[in-house]
Structure 1
Amino acid sequence: MTRPRSAPHPETNPSRTINRDPDAMPPLTKAIPLGIQHIMAMFAGNVTPPIIIAGVIGATTGEQIFLIQVALFVAGIATLIQTIGIGPIGARLPIVQGTSFGFLPVALPLAGTFGLAAVLGASLVAGVLQVGLGAYLKKIRHWFSPVVTGIVVLLIGIILMPVGLNYAAGGIGNPDFASPTNLGLALFVLVVTILVHQFGRGFLKAASILIGLTSGYLLAIALGMVDFSSVGDAAWFAFPKPLQYGLEFHLSAIIGMTLIMFVVGLETIGNISAITIGGAGRQAKDSELSGGVMADGVATSFAALFNTLPNTAYAQNVGLITLTGVVSRHVVTIGGILLICMGLFPKLGGLVAAMPHAVLGGAGIVMFGMIASAGLKIIQECELDQRAMLIIAVSLSLGIGLPAVEAISETMPGQLGLLLKSGLVPAALAALLLDAVLPGKPSRVEPEPEDVIATRSEKVKSNP
């Protein structure tokens, strides 16, 4: 009997099964390169925050290598929590976790004032609270409208822009700060990144930041600007030590990190939705959203214990999934295992730590600008009426103005002044409060029940 054309055998079209089903497993010959691609797409973003925080706390080269090592190790563990899951924790989707830029605008002044231990203590508390956020997500999701989330993401990018430019000039304290060599090297990285992103296709486009960094690093080596002595001093293998810097708990640090945690949790929700809609062809289930946010919290607390900054789902990898159409969580699991392996070899961290600041600054100009662009994109999801414009106006004035006028924060008592100095915390509070009390807030569309989503998903699988 001849098989009808309208019902092809599943084995004749395996790519469709892989594209739509997060549980499908491609052959290892494809899965391993795809997993490596995910790591390459997130690598630069994952190691940049620990390098920046190391500069703020005056870390030695050995400490910088250690911070890079633990960032890689923690990102691998956190990724496995998302892809494999532990009970209700984890979205069980192809989510790559990594060190979050979102916490830097608050973490940097806190680290400069109290030290890294206070940042880690606040991160531990924020992570625990984020687990609670995930557990009760449906009840409080209405607090975070696109205008609130978009404002905060936009401000994160704006506040970090001077950090990128300081690095492009060679790093504060560098005797050659703003020299033509440093600025030229940063410009080279910036131009290469833009060209590859604009004209590259597929993997090249997704890895444009990494290609820009690599090109700049090689040029810096040719110019004799790289000192590899730190690589020779680093061990071949070492297990990351927990609580190396200890934990301290300061109220202002906890408040600041917790507020940003809420926003980053909403970013994770957006990333999960983008994966399921763009890759699996369906809306995200409540269990996937809740489990993903809870895994974010577990990863953030785990990161604090292992001396690194909070972790979150990486948006650049979501874009890679949408681009390639491969939604297999097992592919990302392979990437997570590779990250763990990389975190066990400090010499790799030494290679990254030897990178001149100007190289990192050239890529930072793009990365921090893209964060601000993402904030603008989120704001566009809401209607920009007079109500929304008022919220944006007040929040941006506080977020940008307060850091520029330090005398205001200096007149405030103790830890309150530190919160005002960041700009991001008062801006986030203003956005949340105004959005809650001003009349005319748009009503949210309730997500579909999971049984409806499941039914549609089964129809997609049965009709590829």
Structure 2
Amino acid sequence: MLPVALQHVMVMYAGAIAVPLIVGGAMKLSPAEIAYLVNADLFAAGIVTLIQCLGIWKFGIRMPVIMGVTFAAVGPMVAMANSGLGLTHIYGAVIASGLFTVLVAPVFGKLVRFFPPVVTGTIIAVIGITLLKVGITWAGGGAKAADFGSAQNIGMATLVLVVILAISKFGRGFLGNVSVLVGLIVGYLVAMPLGMVHFDHVNEASWFSAIMPFHFGLPQFEIGSIISLSLVMIVVMVESTGMFLALGELCKRKVDAEDISRGLRTDGIGTVIGGVFNTFPYTSFSQNIGLVGMTGVRSRWAVACSGVILLIFGLFPKMGAIIASIPQAVLGGAGICMFGMVAATGIKILQRVNFESRTNLLIVAISVGLGMIPMLAPDFFHSLPSWTAPLTHSGITLAAVSAVLLNAFFNRAQTEEEIEKELMHSAHSAGAE
């Protein structure tokens, strides 16, 4: 369980620490304060991951879901910082938007009937394609790397990818389950003598850091900031719904309205926990869905173990700094494999769709096209009001909204009985094959 759990943490770590680094920089915090934000982020991520995986009362989807800070909130939070609002105002908005999410989660949970295979397949495929951009950027060495796309970076990503593929083909049992971890370790060991691994942050990191509630002061509640982050959380819930359905597909488990409600409530309570412990809104990390597909390990207990590791990393920063020293080119080799797996899962779901109907082709075509806009033309919506950014800057959200609305227009929303019948038919067809 421990190697599988560590594998999940290594995959999500770069994304997990990026948001506190960005917001801390925008707030002009000292290096020590930014380091505290990172530690608090890992600590809270561990707590929320445990709730999501294990479940407490009506919280937690009880599936292998790892939680991390959402990038969707970065723009509004940086805007708050640039307008002169302090961290306490941001945390007030974070807590309030989290409570808002908890309250509306049951309503979102009932929208599952608007997500037949033509919608879920499209959304999941777009999630994978969007993530592939991240994996390719890692493989090149990172977005701001001076040697981006160098032969060394591409060679390192290729080495990791080859190791993962070789183990996936020839490995059996436990070894096959940790193919990504082995690939990352091999890449890391090869990168060290090549001078690609730097231990400066490891040496600077403290051995222990206590994470205290309201470290930066009591939260302050400003209505404009609360509305802004509440809109972000609506976007987060749309994306999370698609991710839960994708994970259900990989875990061979039907995800119903109550499952989605419990998962979304955890996004909300996790965001409240984030505000209390000096960090930001939380969501399900889509990077790790691909890892479930790659390894075939569907155990929620393994990812709960990842939550414990994140807790430890938050309290013992030097351990987390070691993981942070993994070169991005090494992560890229694994990322291409895992994120492509998410896209392939979406394509697999679309195989169930009746494409003899031209309207279904239109739903997929238009939704995928809209989902690609933020990735292929980032400035496409630059003339729209700033409050639309959470929607227009997310290809996943654009694709989800488009697919749901077009399906409702062409096919109308399915009843629960129709969904059950379609799922039974799909399962029967898969069994026959």
TM range (shorter): 0.7 to 0.9
Structure 1 runs not aligned, ≥5 long: 1-33, 449-464
Measured in 1, the distance between the counterparts of 2:370 and 2:49 equals: 35
Task: Please state how far the C-alpha of 1:47 moved relative to its aligned partner.
Answer: 0.9
2 CA distance for matches of 1:64 and 1:212? 31
Distance 2:325 2:408 in 1: 48
Who is 1:47 aligned against?
A: 13
Amino acid at match of 1:431: A
- 1:86 corresponds to which residue? 56
Residues 35-67 of structure 1, C-alpha deviations (whole Å, 9 max, x = no match): x24412421233131245467669598677656
Name which of 68, 73, 88 aligns with 1:99.
68
Matched, 1:218 2:189: yes
What's the counterpart of residue 321 of structure 2?
350
Aligned partners of 1:346, 1:287: CA distance in 2, in Å?
A: 37
Are 2:244 and 1:268 aligned? Answer: yes
Q: Which residue of 2 aligns with 1:9?
A: none
1:86, CA displacement in angstroms?
3.5
Which residue of the partner structure matches residue 361 of structure 1? 332
Q: 1 CA distance for matches of 2:227 and 2:260?
A: 29
Partner of 1:409: 381
- Cross-structure match for 2:409: 437
Aligned counterpart, 1:189: 160
Aligned-partner SS, 2:141: coil
2: CA distance, partners of 1:183 / 1:425: 31
How far, CA to CA, are the matches of 2:351 and 2:32 in structure 1?
A: 44
Q: Is contact 2:160-2:187 (8 Å) kept? A: yes
> What do residues 138-190 of structure 1 show as CA deviations (whole Å, max 9, x unaligned)?
64321333333332332222223233222222223322222211221122122
Tell whether the 8 Å contact from 1:164 to 1:365 is kept in structure 2 after alignment.
Answer: yes
State the TM-score, normalized to the length of structure 2: 0.75
CA contact (8 A) 1:61 1:230 kept: no
What is the CA-CA distance between 1:274 and the residue it aligns to?
A: 6.6
In structure 2, how many angstroms separate the alpha carbons of the residues matched to 1:236 and 1:316?
32
Q: Which has the larger radius of gyration?
A: 1
Contact 2:68 2:283 in 1 (8 A): yes
Distance 1:396 1:72 in 2: 33
1:153–1:371 Cα contact (<8 Å) kept:
yes
| Residue 452 of structure 1: aligned partner | none
Tell me the distance in 2 between the aligned counterparts of 1:122 and 1:144.
30
State how far apart, in whole Å, the 1-side matches of 2:214 and 2:5 are. 26
Residue type of the alignment partner of 2:50: L
Q: Deviations over 1:406-433 (max 9, x none)?
A: 4531232333367434444333322222
Query: Residues 158 and 122 (structure 1 numbering): CA distance in 2 closer, same or farther, change over 3 Å?
Result: farther
Aligned residues: 402
Amino acid at match of 2:43: F
SS in 1 for 2:59: coil
In structure 2, runs of 5+ residues without a counterpart are 421-433
Instruction: Rate the CA distance shift 1:398–1:235 in 2: closer, same or farther, 3 A.
Output: same
Distance in 2, Cα, partners of 1:404 & 1:288: 34
The alpha-carbon distance between structure 1 residues 137 and 207, as it changes in their structure 2 partners (threshold 3 A), is: same
Q: How much does 1:349 deviate? A: 1.5
AA in 2 matched with 1:44: M
CA distance in 1 between partners of 2:18 and 2:368 (Å): 24
2:33 and 2:156 mapped to 1: Cα distance? 25
Question: For residues 190-339 of structure 1, what are the structure 2 equivalents within 5 Å?
Answer: 190-240=161-211, 249=225, 254-268=230-244, 271=247, 290-303=261-274, 305-306=276-277, 307-308=279-280, 310-312=282-284, 315=289, 336-339=307-310
Residue 153, structure 1, aligned to residue 124, structure 2: yes
RMSD: 4.0
Distance across 2 between alignment mates of 1:284 and 1:417: 30
Asked whether the equivalents of residues 42 and 311 of structure 2 are also in contact (C-alpha less than 8 Å), the reply is yes
The alpha-carbon distance between structure 1 residues 178 and 290, as it changes in their structure 2 partners (threshold 3 A), is closer
8 Å CA contact retained: 1:170, 1:358: yes
3-state SS of 1:86 partner:
coil
Identity %: 33
Q: What amino acid does structure 2 have at the position aligned with 1:46?
A: M
Deviation at 1:235, TM superposition (A): 0.8
Question: Match for residue 15 of structure 1?
Answer: none
Distance 1:96 1:317 in 2: 11
Q: CA deviation at 1:213?
A: 1.7
Partner residue of 2:427?
A: none
TM superposition score normalised by structure 1: 0.71
DSSP 3-state at the match of 2:284: strand
Match of 1:29 in 2: none
| CA-CA distance at 1:316 after TM superposition | 6.2
Deviation at 1:337, TM superposition (A): 3.7
Distance 1:296 1:418 in 2: 17
Question: Secondary structure of 2:417's partner?
Answer: coil
In the TM superposition, what are the counterparts of 1:171-186 in structure 2 within 5 Å?
Answer: 171-186=142-157
Letter in 2 for 1:348: M
Give the whole-Å Cα distance in 2 for the aligned partners of 1:339 and 1:193.
Answer: 24
Q: SS at the partner of 2:380?
A: helix
CA distance in 1, matches of 2:233, 2:398: 13
Q: Secondary structure at the match of 1:237?
A: coil
Tell me how far 1:217 sits from its aligned partner.
Answer: 1.3
User: In the superposition, relative to structure 1, how do residues 372 and 263 fare at CA in structure 2: closer, same or farther (>3 Å)?
Assistant: same
Shift of 1:68: 5.4
User: Compared with structure 1, are the counterparts of its residues 338 and 179 closer, same or farther at alpha carbon in structure 2 (3 Å cutoff)?
Assistant: closer
Residue type of the alignment partner of 1:262? V
Q: Which amino acid aligns with 1:377?
A: K
Cα distance in 1 between the residues matched to 2:291 and 2:14: 16
Structure 2: how far apart are the matches of 1:291 and 1:202?
32
Kindly state the Cα deviation for residue 234 of structure 1 after the two structures are TM-superposed. 0.7
CA distance in 2, matches of 1:376, 1:125: 38
Structure 2 distance, partners of 1:148, 1:125, is: 31
Distance 1:440 1:447 in 2: 12
Query: Which residue of structure 2 aligns with residue 76 of structure 1?
Result: 46
**Secondary structure, in 3 states, of the residue corresponding to 2:145?**
coil
Partners of 2:65 and 2:374 lie apart in 1 by 34
